[in-house]
Structure 1
Amino acid sequence: MNEHNPIALELNKIQQAWQKQVTPNAGLRVVRMIIKPEEARVYEGFLKLESSPYGQLPQVFVTHLTSFDDEDTFSAAIIKDWLEAYDNSASLMEELKTKNAAFTWDAQPYRQALARQQGQPLDDTLLRMLDDFRKALPQEEQQLVLALLPRQVSNLRNMKTWLTNMLKKGIPAGVKLLVFEHVGNEQLAIHERQFPGQMHAMHVPLELHNAIQKLAKSGNPNDPEIALRRCLFEMGDALQAKDLKRLHEWGQKALEYTQRSGNKGLFATAHIMYAGMLFYFKKDPQLPLLLERGMRIAKQGSQQGDPACLPLLIQFYGYHGAYAQLRRNFEEAIEWFIKQARLAQEHNFNQQSMNGWYQAAELCRRKEAGRYYTVLEEAYLAGLNLQDEEISTSLYIYLLRDYYDYVHNKRIQDRIRSIDEKMGRLFGDNWKEEVDRIRKTRAPLMMPPQTEEA
């Protein structure tokens, strides 16, 4: 690890805390890392490092992004992902070979259990698999950590039930489950009295902002990318202090540095970042000028083949929609969001396309009701070719939920059946209630800040 890298130093803090708080406690079975949302990437880096041959901790870490749908299917989903990773990744095997370890583990019993599952929970099977895998490790490494970082969690309360059930069944000695929660939103805590000495919650104070700022400012100050990063941090500090004069000073510097570079993608990026911060000062006359000029630069760069410019152009359309919404020009805002959705769709930026459709549909529902179902239908058709994972992690689930009510009222049976089949496969028979619950608990989508009209 490069000890002079500020991010590496933050990773080292996590390693040291783990070594002090977790490694000596052989009885621990569940570790909860309490983190701030903005620290998530650092912890992902920690898991990647410890899951590689370059890990510093004495345990073998295996990380899974398996989505949590419900407590009855989660163990089976982990087993499935584990077996796929075992078949497709040679990283762990390579690590063991470098240590001249004879590693033999029979995956066949777990393939068979998965094949004959028939909807039954596989909690016991998962625990056996983890124990067998741990025992197959070399003697000096017979400690296993399964780190769970789900792409999506449908219900934290149900995940807590799953964790409790695993503890009741008995997580094998030498195996630990690692889960993550956000500071101030700890819903996976289990009462210590039920499982004394088996659980530990830890929070590592990180200085992420300072680390990123040091990293951003390191390197050649004449490099336009480094100069832009420095400007963005200074602008962020000015915004936090509500110092508009200083924000403009560093915003103009960002434009000057990037214009001199001749890189249209970088120049357009400076415009959109500067404009995004000015949404907090929504009446500032520079805001619409930055959006218009930045969009024009991104369009030129896209036409000239700069790959960074097309995604920026899509963002500019969304920002124009948000600015029109801010000025209560709702019809114009809807047009911008639709334009954003169609351009993103045309170039297979599916998440951005669904964001645009959702913004347009929601604005129609509240302000242009006559267009609502027309926009909903176009959004429905736009998402027909999405893969299951793209559907479950995008705003398309809300669009489908709302469109379902429309086709149900109109008795359009083929679309009712199609949506029922698709969403039932992803969220179960009670998919409508589940999507409604997710919509209530998930943070609302905001384009730039302060876009909601008073």
Structure 2
Amino acid sequence: MTTSPSIGQEFYKVRDAWAVADADKHWKLAIWLVQYADVDIIDKFLETERTAIGVFKEIFFRFDTPYQDDHEAWEKALWEEYISWFEPVSNSDYDIYGALKKDRLLKEDYQPDLRLKPCVQSIWKELLRFKSLIAGLEDIGCCIYFPPLRPDCPDAGDWYADVLKKGLPDGIRLVTIDIVTNPRITLSKKILTEQVTLLQPPLEMVEAVKNDMDKGGGNSDSVSIDARFRKQIRKVMDCTTQQDAGVLGNEVALLLSLCKKMGGAAYQVSGQMIAAQAYFMIRETDKSAGYADKAIAQSRQLMNANDPAGYPTWKSCVMIKAAILVGKKKRKQAIALYEELAHEAANKADAFMILEGYRLCGHLYYELGQLNIAFENLLLALTGGSYLELEVRRQSTFLHAAAMAVHLCEKARGPEDLKILQERLQEQLGNDWATLLQSEGMDKATVRRKSNLFEFN
């Protein structure tokens, strides 16, 4: 009898796969080679192993500094992240070093040796020294987790190969995650054979998530309407892969019927928003726009009533409607919507949507040939985005806004304005801002759409 997979079962598959790898003491780098849908469960497993409830003996550490193609600069940033672990923190709940001292688990005080070269070899050395000072952990190894690279990141295979070539000391092993359909870690067969273990458990996370969503979602009226609602959402979104407007129409009608049964304006608005998204995904733009208009109007009423469900739905539907207008080359109407989005986001202190609203306005003004007003909108986008955390700015569409702003400043403004902008970007992104803006994919930020692109058939 076949058992439908659950999230819990998939977690234990991951744990069992690691148990097999853990028993093999020859490898120095473990790579989980999986699908996108499987990344989260593996990340959760590795995060669990960093806590007291982890079941494996190795001590797990994690580095979050984003990968850079400049290996020397990246290793310096990793060293700085390591040093930051031992700096005082305001909340004692997050002070691991302080907790070790309080519990008298440290044999003596520890601070990183700042005289060492800022590179990963220094991190290995210091980690082992730190571990040797913790009572009871002297003979236990360290496993260092580097999260998966973003799809637009350069290939990190050369860095991993160099690290393995230089050698990892006993007691230090590395683990990371790579995507089988878009690998970001390319290694030679020799390295893979001698020092790397690949973990490819047969996971079924998509089915597991669907099964968990379906729990309690039968057809009987006695079953929770809320569960049926969640199940129906999945059915609607599943229809978008079939590109069949007729099938989608039936499922949308069932969804909206359930929304009425659940009562409350928030559910009805959610149903309209999901319908708008689904029709947008199968390029039925007129139907999508119709549902989006209804959801925008209804969610605006919720916002006026200070209902917290109003704004998230409103901004999602505004983005859908504006994208449809852009696709139909109705740029001025789209600009008006994006401006309204940015203004409302400012009222809600939503820094990311301030960034997006003004960034998209800037790009559309650029397409219209109005370079000065485009530049002004991009400056507003950068101002809104400056309220995001540094690492978010360095990994988000903030970079696209910055690249476009530099491009327009060079075209429409003088060298003094460009110098001011560059100084501002250094403050907002760091000393390597220029390198970030030259990374893979940034060249597309300043490309005007051709007449035959983003048109709907």
Report the equivalent of 2:184.
Answer: 187
User: Bigger shift: 37-46 or 88-97?
Assistant: 88-97
Report the equivalent of 2:213.
Answer: 216
The verdict on how the C-alpha distance between 1:225 and 1:148 changes in structure 2, with shifts beyond 3 A counting, is farther
Q: Describe the superposition over 1:16-46 as per-residue Cα deviations: whole angstroms up to 9, x where unpaired.
A: 11111x2122121111122222333222322
Deviation at residue 380 of structure 1 after TM alignment: 1.0
Distance 1:400 1:160 in 2: 29
Q: Describe the superposition over 1:106-161 as per-residue Cα deviations: whole angstroms up to 9, x where unpaired.
A: 54134x34xxx7xx64222111023224444535971221111268698533x333
Distance 2:404 2:182 in 1: 29
Deviation at residue 195 of structure 1 after TM alignment: 7.6
Count of residue pairs brought into register by the alignment: 434
Tell me if 1:63 matches 2:65: no
Q: Contact 1:264–1:306 at 8 Å: present in 2 too?
A: no
Q: How does 1:53-452 map to 2 (within 5 A)?
A: 53-69=52-68, 70-85=70-85, 88=89, 102-104=105-107, 106-110=109-113, 112-113=114-115, 121-136=118-133, 138-139=136-137, 142-149=140-147, 155-157=153-155, 159-194=156-191, 197-219=194-216, 222-283=223-284, 285-366=286-367, 368-370=368-370, 372-384=371-383, 385-387=386-388, 388-424=390-426, 431-432=433-434, 434-440=436-442, 452=454
Q: Describe the superposition over 1:276-321 as per-residue Cα deviations: whole angstroms up to 9, x where unpaired.
A: 1111343465322211111122112222222232122111111110
Distance 2:341 2:435 in 1: 30
Q: Contact 2:217–2:231 at 8 Å: present in 1 too?
A: no
Distance 2:179 2:257 in 1: 39
Distance 1:150 1:187 in 2: 8
Tell me if 1:25 matches 2:28: no
Q: Which amino acid letter does the alignment assign opposite residue 350 of structure 2?
A: F
Distance 2:242 2:269 in 1: 25
Q: Which amino acid letter does the alignment assign opposite residue 73 of structure 1?
A: A
Equivalent position SS for 1:73: helix
Report the equivalent of 2:449.
Answer: none
The verdict on how the C-alpha distance between 1:255 and 1:412 changes in structure 2, with shifts beyond 3 A counting, is same
Q: Describe the superposition over 1:249-291 as per-residue Cα deviations: whole angstroms up to 9, x where unpaired.
A: 2212222222333343333222222211111343465322211
Report the equivalent of 2:37.
Answer: 38
Distance 2:434 2:94 in 1: 41
RMSD value, Cα: 3.5
Distance 2:359 2:417 in 1: 19
Tell me if 1:11 matches 2:16: no
Q: Contact 2:29–2:175 at 8 Å: present in 1 too?
A: yes
Distance 2:82 2:434 in 1: 30
Q: Describe the superposition over 1:371-414 as per-residue Cα deviations: whole angstroms up to 9, x where unpaired.
A: x4313312313422435334212222222222223333455455
Q: Contact 2:273–2:291 at 8 Å: present in 1 too?
A: yes
Q: Which amino acid letter does the alignment assign opposite residue 208 of structure 2?
A: A
The verdict on how the C-alpha distance between 1:430 and 1:74 changes in structure 2, with shifts beyond 3 A counting, is closer
The verdict on how the C-alpha distance between 1:386 and 1:373 changes in structure 2, with shifts beyond 3 A counting, is farther
Distance 2:291 2:359 in 1: 25
Q: Describe the superposition over 1:333-380 as per-residue Cα deviations: whole angstroms up to 9, x where unpaired.
A: 2222232233223322222232233333333333x223x431331231
Distance 1:311 1:288 in 2: 18
Distance 1:226 1:63 in 2: 37
Distance 2:27 2:96 in 1: 24
* Runs of 5+ consecutive residues of structure 1 not aligned to the other structure: 445-450
Equivalent position SS for 1:328: coil
Q: Which amino acid letter does the alignment assign opposite residue 394 of structure 2?
A: S
Q: Which amino acid letter does the alignment assign opposite residue 146 of structure 1?
A: I
Q: Contact 2:152–2:440 at 8 Å: present in 1 too?
A: yes
Q: Describe the superposition over 1:155-198 as per-residue Cα deviations: whole angstroms up to 9, x where unpaired.
A: 533x3333233223321222211122212222313224258532
Distance 1:283 1:306 in 2: 30
Equivalent position SS for 1:190: coil
Q: Which amino acid letter does the alignment assign opposite residue 421 of structure 2?
A: I
Deviation at residue 425 of structure 1 after TM alignment: 6.0
* Runs of 5+ consecutive residues of structure 2 not aligned to the other structure: 447-452
Distance 1:316 1:53 in 2: 43
The verdict on how the C-alpha distance between 1:432 and 1:282 changes in structure 2, with shifts beyond 3 A counting, is same
Equivalent position SS for 2:177: strand
Equivalent position SS for 2:259: helix
Distance 1:105 1:195 in 2: 40
Report the equivalent of 1:448.
Answer: none
TM-score using structure 1 length:
0.83
User: Bigger shift: 85-94 or 347-356?
Assistant: 85-94
Q: Which amino acid letter does the alignment assign opposite residue 327 of structure 1?
A: K
Q: Contact 1:357–1:375 at 8 Å: present in 2 too?
A: no
The verdict on how the C-alpha distance between 1:376 and 1:127 changes in structure 2, with shifts beyond 3 A counting, is same
